[in-house]
């Protein structure tokens, strides 16, 4: 009886794996095709290629985030720092009423851009000395890690906006 039970429980798992593995390969193939098409589209337009190259100089920003920035926030570089943060959905809004001082929260903006910036900030906090120090300083001051990471995301957007606004802007090493 036990042999029958173990055979019965393993058989569906094997069937599912045999079915899912080709689908996983197909999805990986399609993702690769989409990434190549996006890279070709960006390379075909010199202003876009120049912007993407400039943006990728920032630690944490790779080709995927550069493409998302091109698609979701083409006005980057023409905005003020606060407007850029608000468009990305990273500007803190207060919840004040009379004498009550509420917690500041981010809201609105462009969600796909915010998701891409989250991954970029996560990488930048690990690999960029300046953002890592900023993040650890906020955490040491008692901020929650997600709040500190959101502040790093905002700092990234402001940095990218300034880089694209001023061509002579140089990154600190």
Kindly report, residue by residue over 31-87, the tens digit of the pLDDT: 999 999 999 999 999 999 999 999 999 999 999 999 999 999 999 999 999 999 999
What proportion of the chain, given as a percentage, has pLDDT over 70?
93
DSSP 25-56: HHHHHHHHHHHHHHHHHHHHSHHHHHHHHHHT
DSSP three-state, residue 100: strand
Distance of CA 27 to the CA centre of its chain: 22
Q: Could you tell me the residue ranges of all domains in the chain?
A: 1-44, 48-165
């Amino acid at each position: 009886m036990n042999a029958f039970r173990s055979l019965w429980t393993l058989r569906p798992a094997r069937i599912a794996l045999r079915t899912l593995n080709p689908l996983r390969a197909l999805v990986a193939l399609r993702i690769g095709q989409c990434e190549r098409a996006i890279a070709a589209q960006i390379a075909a337009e010199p202003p876009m290629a120049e912007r993407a190259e400039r943006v990728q100089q920032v630690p944490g920003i790779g080709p995927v985030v550069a493409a998302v920035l091109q698609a979701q926030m083409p006005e980057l570089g023409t905005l003020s720092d606060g407007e850029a943060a608000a468009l990305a959905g990273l500007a803190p809004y207060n919840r004040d009423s009379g004498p009550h001082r509420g917690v500041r929260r981010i809201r609105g903006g462009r969600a796909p851009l915010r998701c891409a910036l989250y991954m970029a900030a996560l990488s930048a906090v690990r690999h960029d000395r300046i953002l890592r120090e900023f993040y650890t300083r906020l955490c040491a001051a008692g901020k929650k890690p997600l709040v500190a990471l959101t502040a790093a995301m905002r700092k990234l957007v402001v940095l990218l906006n300034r880089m694209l606004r001023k061509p002579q802007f140089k990154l600190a090493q």
